[in-house]
Amino acid sequence: MSSAETPLTTALPAVKVPPGAPFPKALQGIAFTISRRWTVQRMARRYGDIFRLNVPVYGDTVVVANPQLAKQVFTTSPEDLGNIQPNLSGLLGFGSVFALDGDDHRRRRRLLAPSFHGKSIKNYENIIEEETVREIAGWPEGEAFPTLPSTMRITLNAILRAVFGAEGAELDELRRIIPPWVTLGSRLATLPKPSRTYGRYSPWGRLAEWRRQYDAIIDKLIADERADPNFEERTDVLALLLRSTYEDSSAMSRKDIGDELLTLLAAGHETTAATLAWAFERLSRHPDVLERLVAEAETDENELRQATILEVQRNRTVIDGAGRHVYAPVYELGEWVIPRGYTIIVSISQMHANPEAFPEPDRFDPQRYIGAKPSSFAWIPFGGGARRCVGAVFANMEMDMVLRTVLRHFTIDTTTAPGEKWHSRGIAFTPKDGGRIVVHRRRG
Ligand code: HEM
């Protein structure tokens, strides 16, 4: 065929999707809904590090668990691989960074970035330490208790103070409405959103009512911040957002600020708390690591504590995937050609179980990272590329502070009990029994 005769459509390579489960979509959907972790593990065992799955809400999906392919996904232009559809906009609002795509997303990330740089994060260390000391003062001695409710309160209070700048009555109000809201919201987030709320006692009606109460508090917080004579010196994220502007000198709208604060809270609270609960669960089962960490906590060093945090995040991954949507007419990924409209999920949990990147992946071993940083495309608890977690540095500082403070105040009993099982809270995975430990207060 001469080039003049070549139809234009041949410019695009033919679609070639990876292998997928031979059973009907409905069955794949049920398996995924009941246990997405189990389903992805089984599929990976059968088909390797890239396969196709039909996922409720997201439809045709390619799951990737290979460092080279993950790197390609994360570094592809957002015009070709954009935000996952549908996303958390239904829960957090269209002004949330989770809802934005393309240029709008890029602009928002630039605006948010300074609030989460190392220098800004330093300002929050005291808040985290104070919140930890306050919470652990009530820990019982000599009896097993779940750490998750405590780590949830610490991370919630830390974000409300560091991000929202909340104190007094507003802090108390937010503390009251946010935990049930986030719990219900993250359960509903993985279901299709109905077009109406079905009354104030239905789940969606309750979310709408919490949002109304939340908006009233945010209005009050913004008014108070603006009226503060020290407004220019304030270091909470709300003040930083109120003071910053986009490149074209426009400012974030009131609605977008409300959506974004809620986003930072929803994204940062449960994830960090779950990882900390896993850290306690892991340490109580690894006496050798615990002993060395205790010794280190007496000093200003944190090399082992940092390695421990990295290993908890790998070995007990709390967010199991990072998703993108194919906008390009077709997307070539390795040997595969994926059509527009597909979802691509980088399976973070499968990537973290890769024996080539992490020999004996089931073994909990912080030593892996002493003197060697993990590869940024194999170790990916915070996702990657343009949508990589905004709060990664904040989360790391927070986990470091909480662990150091606990180790300085308590000894943790070790146990030979088997590891706790996984429990899905909708978005994050927590230890099933809440990361139970037995502690004794250090004297003197
Ligand atoms: C251990 C704790 C945390 C984990 C494991 C975690 C994990 C993640 C993951 C996997 C993503 C998706 C990345 C992607 O699609 O490539 C993400 C996004 C995000 N995270 Fe985190 N996160 C944590 C803590 C935080 C904290 C403390 C904050 C804020 C204070 C935060 C704010 C966000 C935001 C705003 C996004 C959306 C970024 C965007 O779409 O551009 N996260 N996080």
What string of pLDDT tens digits covers the 444 residues of the chain? 444 455 555 688 999 999 998 878 888 788 887 888 889 999 999 999 999 998 888 899 999 999 999 999 999 999 999 999 988 887 888 999 999 999 999 999 999 999 998 888 988 999 999 999 999 999 999 999 999 999 999 999 999 999 988 888 989 999 999 888 877 887 776 666 666 666 777 888 888 889 999 999 999 999 999 999 999 999 899 999 999 999 889 999 999 999 999 999 989 999 999 999 999 999 999 999 999 999 999 999 999 999 999 999 999 999 999 999 999 999 999 999 999 999 999 999 999 999 999 999 999 999 999 999 998 899 999 999 999 999 999 999 999 999 999 999 999 999 999 999 999 888 899 999 999 999 999 986
Number of Cβ atoms within 10 Å of the Cβ of 188:
18
- Compute φ and ψ for 394, nearest 5 degrees: -60, -50
Burial class (CB in 10 A: 0-12, 13-18, 19+), 433: middle
Query: Quick one: which atom of ligand 1 is closest to the CA of 105?
Result: 41
Angle between helix 254-283 and helix 203-227 axes, rounded to 10 deg = 110
Report whether residue 430 contacts ligand 1, using a CB cutoff of 6 Å: no
- The pLDDT value given to residue 69: 97
The CB of 390 under 6 Å from ligand 1? The reply is yes
**Position in ligand 1 atom list of the atom nearest CA 275:** 1
- Does residue 383 have its Cβ closer than 6 Å to ligand 1? yes
Distance (Å, whole) CA 128 – CA 154: 7
Residue pair 164/174 in contact by the 8 Å Cβ criterion: yes
Decide whether any atom of ligand 1 lies within 6 Å of the 263 Cβ: yes
Q: Which of 345, 333, 347 is nearest to 61 (CA)?
A: 345
Q: How far apart are CA 435 and CA 437, in angstroms?
A: 7
The residue contributing the CA closest to ligand 1 atom 19 is 389
| DSSP for residue 231 | G
Ligand 1 pocket check for 82: Cβ under 6 Å: no
Q: With 0.85 as the threshold, say if the pTM is over it.
A: yes
Structural contact between residues 186 and 428, judged by C-beta atoms closer than 8 angstroms: yes
Residue entry with tokens 């948010």: 112
For residue 178, the SS3 value is: helix
Cβ–ligand 1 contact at 78 (below 6 Å): no
Q: Which two tokens stand for residue 181?
A: 């809201």
Phi, psi of 346 (to 5 degrees): -85, 115
CA 183 to chain centre: 14
Residue 410 has what DSSP assignment?
E
With contact defined as beta carbons under 8 Å apart, do 201 and 208 qualify? no
Residue 283 to residue 262: CA distance in whole angstroms: 32
Nearest to 382 by CA among 371, 396, 398: 396
Mutate-to-test residue for ligand 1 from 389, 398, 399, 430, highest number of ligand atoms within 8 A of CB: 389
263 CA to centre of ligand 1 in angstroms: 9
Nearest to residue 352, comparing CAs of 306, 308, 324, 320?
A: 320
Task: Give the bridge partners for 344, in sequence order.
Answer: 62, 324
402, 407, 412, 416 alpha-carbon torsion, rounded to 10°: 80
338, 13 contact by CB (below 8 A): no
What's phi and psi for 409, nearest 5 deg? Answer: -95, -25
Contact 364, 309 (CB under 8 A): no
Distance CA 206, CA 107 (A): 32
Which residue is closest in CA terms to ligand 1's atom 18? 389
Strand partners, 423: 430
Task: Give the pLDDT of residue 2.
Answer: 44
